[in-house]
Each structure stands twice: as C-alpha cells, then as structure tokens.
Structure 1
Amino acid sequence: MKKDQTMRGFGRAAASALLLVLLAACSVEPTYKRPDAPTPAAFKEAPATDAKDMGTWKTAEPADAAHRGEWWTIFGDPVLDDLEQQAAAANQDLKAAAARVQQSRALVQNARSDWFPTIDAGFGPTRQRLSPASQFLPPNANVPTQTLWRAQATASYEVDLFGRISSNVHATQADAQQSEALFRSVQLALQADVAQNYFQLREFDTQVDLFRQTVKLREDSLKLVQQRFDEGEISELDLARAKNELATARADAVGVARQRAASEHSLAILLGKAPADFSFAASPLVPVTARVPAGLPSALLERRPDIAAAERAMAAANARVGLAKSAYFPRLDITAAGGFEAGTLADLFHWSSRAFILGPFAGTALTLPLFDGGRRRAGVDQARAKYDEDVAQYRQQVLQAFREVEDNLSDLRLLDDQIEQENDAVSASQRSAHLSATQYKEGQIAYLDVIDAERQVLQTQLQASQLTGVQAVATVNLIRALGGGWGDMKAQDGTTVGSRNDGQQLAKQ
C-alpha cells in the first residue's frame, strides 16, 4: 500500500514536471520572417559593361559582417592608407560605437541570466514580537520580544512559461546584432569621411597652387603695365585695373587657404587628434580614374550595414510582440530558503537549528492576470505598431540605398564627360589668354581684354579642379553606398590617385 502511494506521488510529480516543460515550450512569439523589399533586377545607371558582367539574379543573404578588406587601397595612395589606419586606431566616435556593442552584449547576458535561478546568502539577527493571536494565545497574553539569528541561502526561479524569458532574450540578441551592424556602419562612414576629407584637402592644395600661379602672373602683368605707364604708352586706368586684379587674386588665395585650414582641422578630428597636433603637407590632387563595379542590386542588401541594422531592429520588435503577449498568461515563480535559525548566536549552527521554506514568501507562486484596465492590450498594440514602423523603415532604408548607388553611378558616368569638356575649355581659355597678352604688348587691344582672358583661364582651371575633387569624392561615395565592398568582383584597373611618395611626411605627432 505504501509502495503504491509512493508510486502515485512520483507519477504526479513527473506529470507536473512534464506540464511545466510543455508550458515553457509554448512560446507566443510570432515566427519572424524578413519582409520583402522592392529590389530592382539591375542598376539603371550602371555602365553596360558592368551590367553584362553582373551575372544572374540571386536571393540576398545577409553578409554585413563579412570582411570587406581595405577598400581604399584601390586608390594606390600610401598616404591615404596611413590616414585610414590612424583613424581606425584613434577615432572617438568609433570607440563610442564599440562601447555600445559591449553594452548590448552585456544586456544579452543579463537577459539570459533569467533562465537560471538566483541564489543569495545572508546572515544576521532579526528583532521581532509575535502577536498573541498568531500563537493561539488569549488576547491579553504577554508574548515576549525575541531575537532570532539566521544564516540561510535563498533561491528564486521563474519558469519560462509561454516564452516570456525566451522572447526577451531573442529581443536583446537582435538588439546586440543591430548594435554590431551600427558599429560597422560607423566604421564605414569613418573610412569614407577620411577618404573624402583627404581628397577635398588635396583639391584645396590644387586651388592654392592655381592661385599662387595666378598671383605670379598678375605681378608680372603689373610690372609690364607699370613700365608702359611710366613710358606714357597707356593711361592710369590700365594701371589701376592691374593693381585691382593683383589684390583680388591675393584675397582669393587667402580665402582658399582659410578653407584648407578648416578641412585640415576636420581631418585631424577624424584621426582622433587635436588640430594643433596635426599638419598636412601640400599635395595637389591627381585625377582619380579607378572604377568600382556596381554588382547585383540584391547583393547590396548583403553588404550595407545600415540595412542589416534596420533588419535586426525588425527582429527585435517581433520578439517584443511575443514578450507583450506573454503578459496575458500565468507566471510561475518558485522560491526557497534554507539554513539555520536560533534564538542565540551560540545555538545558530546546531543541527537542531536548521530550517527551510519552499514556496513564495509573499503572494502565490502561480499568478494569473485577470484585469488591468487594458494595459496588456495596449502593450501588445504598441509592440505590433513598433514592428510595423521598423518594417516601413527597413523598406525605406533599402530604397535609400538603391538611390545612393544610382546617384553615384550617374555622377561618375556624367562627370567623365563634364571633365573632358572642362579640360577643353581650359585649353581654349589658355590659348585665348596667350593671344590677348601678345596683342596687348603690340598695342592692338586694351588691357581690359587681357583681364577678361586671364579671369577666364582661372575660372576654368578652378572648375576643372573642383570637378576632379568631385570625381574622387563620388568614387568614395559609391564604395560607401555599396557597403564598403563588392564581393569577389575587382575594381577596374586604371590610373590610381597620385604617385606614391613614401618620403612625404604628413602627420606630425
């Protein structure tokens, strides 16, 4: 008979344990599926040769964590290579992004800890006076105040019913993955910003060089005009005009130098240095002709870290929908305490002083929410609305990524034609200025015609310099829009940026 009772008790315990396991496996979290996003079959602005080599269509598979290599090396510029390494080692925004990744990983560990029991230990006295009623004594009975000494361990555990803990873990894991994607986005932005600032700084060096030549030309022209004025061949009007052109050229040169200084300071900050501790040797910009293949549009979704971050935000929001739904279902908390309890410290650790409690210290172990004025429904509605918001932002981010690629592809395609035409304009203006100077010396034209011709030369040269800088920046922007890499495809060979001057010292620590 006693054996049968033992077996029945064991059977009930096993059935209860099996029920808890089944309830823990009944997650109410919705099954996550990445939503579709509008993806074209090819880039409209991609050159025909690139489109031919892009291959067949394939489904995008997230690869935002893939190693993209040092993409800036396609420019063949050792100075840029060194600046990128300095920025990676010392930029404070990048360090802050890395710290946010560590924070998110710690939150994942914190969420996972809910899967395990919490165990604490304590020691100390308690001064208490029990009521007569609790001791089944008459109302006027005298119950003395007593001191109890306790040394005990306390354990608490929440059973993961309906996936409440699991959904929270899934949400924090997705948050951590989003933080890692955002870190890579900050890293890519930093690399692109360094390259862009570097090319812009070199463009300013080109403009400074142009103004230096222009000032020298204006000084020579002033000497010629002064000589002719002294000889009485021309009026004072031409002399005043020559002095005005020289002063204007010098003022414009100072203006470009001011812009260059601000650009140099910006580059110093990107490198994690104080502007006072950084200087950049002058180095005029050489045209960039390296070309980057656009690849498959679907591959863009694999490489862009900002798209990966938006997708992980959706996954986190989806998990939090399950977390909000779990509030509708019962919650089971199991607590226990065991140790020693005695009236005096000397008797505390005697075997007869042992004591334990199993179950909730307050309330009940299994709680079932009945009425909360609509709080749970509001929580679920909020979680679903957040998920819908993240879906819309993900699709918008995808569209934005395609636009950025198309913009830079069209920029590079049209800049080639614009630069070619501008170079022709430079040659024509230089020829016109040479003829004007010759005719002025022979007294055939007025000095105003010479001024107009020389102004046109400077204007076309400055525009050509600016287009060269825009082309370099657009190349960097395309790489950034492509996610910092292009898979197994290689950049097209071409004349690289500048010559490799290993002896050039740019950064002074």
Structure 2
Amino acid sequence: MMLRKFHGMSVLLASLLVIAGCATAPQFDRPSVEAPAAFKEAATSPAQAGDAVWQPANPADGVARGEWWRVFNDDTLNGLQVQALQANQNLKAAAARVAQARALQQDANSERSPQIGVGAGPTRQRASPASQGISQDAPNSAQTLWRAQATASYEVDLFGRVASIVDAAQADTQEREALYHSVMLALQADVAQAYFTVREQDAELRLFRDTVDLRAQTLKLVDRRFTEGDISELDLARSRTELASAQSELLAIKRRRAASEHALATLLGRAPSDFTLAALPLDRVRVSVPPGLPSSLLERRPDIAAAERAMAAANARIGAANAAFFPRLELTGALGFESGKLGDLFNWSSRSFLLGPIAGTMLSLPIFDGGRRQAGLDRARAVYEEDVANYRQTVLVAFREVEDGLSNLRILSNQTVAQDEAVKASERAARLSQIQYREGAVNYLDVIDADRSVLAQRRVGVQLDGERARSTVALIRAMGGGWDISQAAVAVK
C-alpha cells in the first residue's frame, strides 16, 4: 500500500517536472525603430583641411579605450579627466547603484538553490483527541517537545516564475551598468566643456587686458594733446570713459571666470578653495568628428542600451506575472531529533524526519483572488509598453542631438570664416580712423566707434572659438563618446 502511494506521488512529481521547462515569459525582441540611412547634416559637414580627425576607440585596444578627449591634444584636459573619474561624487553614486543592482541580482539567483537551515528549541503543544485516535474524554495533557533539526525547501520552477525574476534582475543590473557609463560620459563631456569655457574666458581676459593697456596709452596721448590745447576736454572725457568701461568689463569677465573655475572644481570632486586652474587662453579647436551611420548609435550610446535593458527587465516581469496563474510546487523537509525530554534529545531513538510542508500545501494554485493576479499582469504589460515608448524616444533624441551637433559645427565653421573677415575689416577701419584723426579729418568720436568695433568683433571671434570647442564635445557625447557595448562591465569597489 505504501509503495503504491509512493509510486503515485513519484508519477505526479515526474509529470510536474516534465512541464517545468514551460516558461511563461514572452520572447524578448528589441522593438524596431526607424533609423535614417544617413544623417542629414553629414553630407554638408566636410572635414576642414588640416583638422584632426576623431576616431572611435578600437574595441580590441584595452589600454586607451574611451579616452576621446585626447583628440584635443591638451595635457591639462587629460589630467582633469583623470581627476574627475577618480573623485566625482555623482559617478561614485552611480557605481553604488550598480553594486545595489548586482546584490539584488544575487538575491534573485538565490531562489534557484535549495534553502537550508538549522534550528533548535522547545514547543509546548496539546494535540486533539481526534488526531490521536482516542475518545474525547480520554486524558490528554499538554506536553513539551524538544527539537533539533535541519530544514530544507526548494521551489520547483514549473512555469518559469523564478527564471523570469532572475532574468529581470540581470537586465536591471545591465541597465544600471549602462547608466553608469552614461553618467561617466556626461561627466567627461561636462569637464571638457567647463574647461573650454574657462579657457575662453582666459582669452577674453587677455583681449580686455590688451584693450585696457591700449586705451591707457591712448588716454595719455589725448591728455597731452588737451594740455597742449590741440583738442577739447570732450575728447579727454570720452577717452577716460572708454578706459573705465574696458576696466569694468575686465572685472566682469574675472567674476565669470572665477565662477566657471569653481564649477569645474566641483566636477572634479574638489572644494573650490583647493583648486586653481592656471590661465591659458583658448586656441582655435580644429577637430572633425565623423558621424558614422545612425544605426551605430543603437550600439554606441549607453543611454540607449540602458533603455533597451529596461525593456528586457519589464518583459521578464511579464513572465513572472503570468506564472502566478499556474501552480507552484515547493518541496520541503526536515531531518533531526525530537524528544519530550531535553536529555534524550540526541538519542538515536529520538531521530525524526518530515517530508512535505510544515504548514500549507506542497502544490498550490489560487482559485479566486479578486483580480489581483490579472491586475499584476496588466501592470507588467503596461510597464513594458511604457519602456518601449521610452526606448524609441531615447533613440529619437539621440538622432536629434547628433544632427544638432553636426549643424552647429557646420554653421560655426562658416560663421568663424565670416567673423575673421569682420575682424580684419574692423582693424583696417580702426587704423584708418587713427590716421584721419591725427590729420584732423575726423573727430575723436569716430576713433572711439572704430575702437569699439574692433573690440566687439575680436570678442565675438573668441566666443565663437569657445562655442566651437564645446559643440565638438557635445557632438562626441551625442555619438556615445568612447563607450562601446563591449565595455558594459563596471568595476565597483
């Protein structure tokens, strides 16, 4: 009789194990996106002669992979990038989030293994007369039972509930790793752009220092001519006004430069009081960035990879929600000793075992839950649809950012050529006005206007150089920087 029951249970368990591979998670396929064959601006953004060409990092090169900022050939910038990667607090927070995701993945993986524990202690209980097969009036006193035993439990993953949870946790970890690289890329770009902003302001400071020196010399000449009676006091007052105006603007640039340096220090993870960047006026940046194909962004941009992994996690959670509609099989057991007396607990005769759930049932399937399981499934599907929309929007934003970067550099290149001509023309006009003023052909107001025009045109030229450097950085960032999908692993301390 016992053999027949055991055989029946074995057949049931075998049947359930046969269908254990029937996962309920839908197959995940990355949603299609409409990627253009080429960037619209790529055809109108030819490399300038003599420009350095930025090349994506070779995935086989494990030494300098991802150090895209080295294309600017600036040792100071290289050093700042190293400092930022070592000390920036936002990057450390992103690394900590990766560590959290990995811990959660390990926690999910633990459900694949049997859960084994040991315990010891007494219980005070009184069994019912019916459970002992005695009459209800028979003596039946409470008793203390001592136990020392090992317990084990294991859920047979019949319909892929555990596998779906593990897959979702793994995708979450990969998403966090991609987001870490996205934070890193943003940090690298922010450091480079902040650095070029400081250097642009250094160039403006040099321009206005030269202007102040020139106007101070001019004031001396005007003052001497006034003393000699060659000109009126009006020209002297105008010359003093122009000198004071240049000195005031010089101080304003110094104020903005100090704020930019403080912002750069924060990116480096340092207190502004502990950081000083030596003055170094910006030279014109000549770097040509090949845009490649739009489809390559799907592999190069870490934020796109993160959005794709978020979809994969949501898809796996649909499988976990689906599995709730099917039976769950949990095998449990206990092996140890039990005795009514503590002194007899570890006697050979006190050994005992239990095969089956201590509480509840081995095979369970909810029949009615008021729509809870369906609500969970509906929510999981809605989360997946949200992540699909977010993924497609991320791709669209990536395409737009690359097009913006290409158009900015194209227009800035043409604008710089026009601005160089404007500087030359204004300098020529200033020289002519000086000559004509000395000859008495024009008044001093014409000289002042010409001098102001030269200063304004030179300043615009400096600002265009700074904007071109920052736009180059922005384009490299939009293309994914030096990130590659083979770099997905993150070293977390």
Instruction: Using the TM superposition, give the Cα deviation of residue 327 of structure 1 relative to its aligned residue in structure 2, in angstroms.
Output: 1.2
- In structure 2, what is the equivalent of residue 270 of structure 1? 267
Tell me if the contact between 2:205 and 2:250 (Cα under 8 Å) persists in the aligned partners. yes
Instruction: Using the TM superposition, give the Cα deviation of residue 15 of structure 1 relative to its aligned residue in structure 2, in angstroms.
Output: 3.2
Instruction: Using the TM superposition, give the Cα deviation of residue 48 of structure 1 relative to its aligned residue in structure 2, in angstroms.
Output: 6.0
125-134 vs 320-329, greater mean Cα deviation: 125-134
- 1:23 has 2:7 as partner: no
Tell me if the contact between 2:181 and 2:483 (Cα under 8 Å) persists in the aligned partners. no
- In structure 1, what is the equivalent of residue 367 of structure 2? 370
- 1:89 has 2:86 as partner: yes
Q: Distance in 2 between matches of 1:449 and 1:113?
A: 83
- In structure 1, what is the equivalent of residue 115 of structure 2? 118
Find the partner of 1:302 among 288, 299, 304. 299
- In structure 1, what is the equivalent of residue 258 of structure 2? 261
Task: State the AA in 1 paired with 2:458.
Answer: Q
Instruction: Using the TM superposition, give the Cα deviation of residue 392 of structure 1 relative to its aligned residue in structure 2, in angstroms.
Output: 1.1
- 1:445 has 2:446 as partner: no
Task: Say if 1:311 and 1:50 are closer, same or farther in 2 by CA, change over 3 A.
Answer: farther
Tell me if the contact between 2:302 and 2:483 (Cα under 8 Å) persists in the aligned partners. no
Q: How many residues are matched?
A: 471
Instruction: Using the TM superposition, give the Cα deviation of residue 391 of structure 1 relative to its aligned residue in structure 2, in angstroms.
Output: 1.0
Find the partner of 1:46 among 42, 45, 48. 42
Q: Distance in 1 between matches of 2:461 and 2:348?
A: 94
Find the partner of 1:192 among 186, 189, 202. 189
Aligned-residue RMSD, C-alpha: 2.3
Find the partner of 2:281 among 275, 284, 289. 284
Task: Say if 1:166 and 1:292 are closer, same or farther in 2 by CA, change over 3 A.
Answer: same
Q: Distance in 2 between matches of 1:422 and 1:103?
A: 52
Find the partner of 2:240 among 243, 249, 273. 243
Instruction: Using the TM superposition, give the Cα deviation of residue 136 of structure 1 relative to its aligned residue in structure 2, in angstroms.
Output: 5.3
Unaligned 5+ runs, structure 1 = 52-62, 488-509
Task: State the AA in 1 paired with 2:417.
Answer: E
Instruction: Using the TM superposition, give the Cα deviation of residue 141 of structure 1 relative to its aligned residue in structure 2, in angstroms.
Output: 5.8
Instruction: Using the TM superposition, give the Cα deviation of residue 118 of structure 1 relative to its aligned residue in structure 2, in angstroms.
Output: 0.8
- In structure 1, what is the equivalent of residue 69 of structure 2? 72
Task: Say if 1:358 and 1:486 are closer, same or farther in 2 by CA, change over 3 A.
Answer: closer
Task: State the AA in 2 paired with 1:326.
Answer: A
Q: Distance in 2 between matches of 1:81 and 1:485?
A: 14
Task: State the AA in 2 paired with 1:38.
Answer: E
- 1:396 has 2:398 as partner: no
- 1:146 has 2:146 as partner: no
Task: Say if 1:381 and 1:486 are closer, same or farther in 2 by CA, change over 3 A.
Answer: closer
State percent identity of aligned pairs: 60
Q: Distance in 2 between matches of 1:90 and 1:22?
A: 54
Instruction: Using the TM superposition, give the Cα deviation of residue 130 of structure 1 relative to its aligned residue in structure 2, in angstroms.
Output: 4.5
- In structure 2, what is the equivalent of residue 343 of structure 1? 340
Task: State the AA in 2 paired with 1:115.
Answer: R
Instruction: Using the TM superposition, give the Cα deviation of residue 230 of structure 1 relative to its aligned residue in structure 2, in angstroms.
Output: 2.0
Instruction: Using the TM superposition, give the Cα deviation of residue 134 of structure 1 relative to its aligned residue in structure 2, in angstroms.
Output: 5.0
Instruction: Using the TM superposition, give the Cα deviation of residue 236 of structure 1 relative to its aligned residue in structure 2, in angstroms.
Output: 2.3
Q: Distance in 1 between matches of 2:299 and 2:363?
A: 46
Q: Distance in 1 between matches of 2:299 and 2:459?
A: 40
Q: Distance in 2 between matches of 1:185 and 1:295?
A: 20
Tell me if the contact between 1:50 and 1:293 (Cα under 8 Å) persists in the aligned partners. no
Secondary structure, aligned partner of 2:106: helix
Deviations for 1:113-164, whole angstroms, at most 9, x for unmatched residues? Answer: 1111111111122334445565556656664443322111111111112111
Tell me if the contact between 1:38 and 1:399 (Cα under 8 Å) persists in the aligned partners. no
- 1:171 has 2:168 as partner: yes
Deviations for 1:252-294, whole angstroms, at most 9, x for unmatched residues? Answer: 1111111111111111111111111110000000111111111
Q: Distance in 2 between matches of 1:145 and 1:232?
A: 125
1:422-433 equivalences under 5 Å are 422-433=419-430
Deviations for 1:280-321, whole angstroms, at most 9, x for unmatched residues? Answer: 000000111111111111112110111111111111111111
Secondary structure, aligned partner of 2:23: coil
- In structure 2, what is the equivalent of residue 502 of structure 1? none
Task: State the AA in 2 paired with 1:341.
Answer: E
Tell me if the contact between 2:66 and 2:483 (Cα under 8 Å) persists in the aligned partners. no
Q: Distance in 1 between matches of 2:360 and 2:123?
A: 22
Unaligned 5+ runs, structure 2 = 48-58, 485-493
Task: Say if 1:99 and 1:384 are closer, same or farther in 2 by CA, change over 3 A.
Answer: same
- In structure 2, what is the equivalent of residue 36 of structure 1? 32
Secondary structure, aligned partner of 2:160: helix
Task: Say if 1:359 and 1:22 are closer, same or farther in 2 by CA, change over 3 A.
Answer: same
Q: Distance in 1 between matches of 2:381 and 2:111?
A: 24
- In structure 1, what is the equivalent of residue 413 of structure 2? 416
Tell me if the contact between 1:293 and 1:486 (Cα under 8 Å) persists in the aligned partners. no
- In structure 2, what is the equivalent of residue 479 of structure 1? 476
Q: Distance in 2 between matches of 1:49 and 1:467?
A: 17
Q: Distance in 2 between matches of 1:48 and 1:203?
A: 27
Tell me if the contact between 1:50 and 1:294 (Cα under 8 Å) persists in the aligned partners. no
Secondary structure, aligned partner of 1:328: coil
Deviations for 1:29-60, whole angstroms, at most 9, x for unmatched residues? Answer: 11111110010011110146879xxxxxxxxx
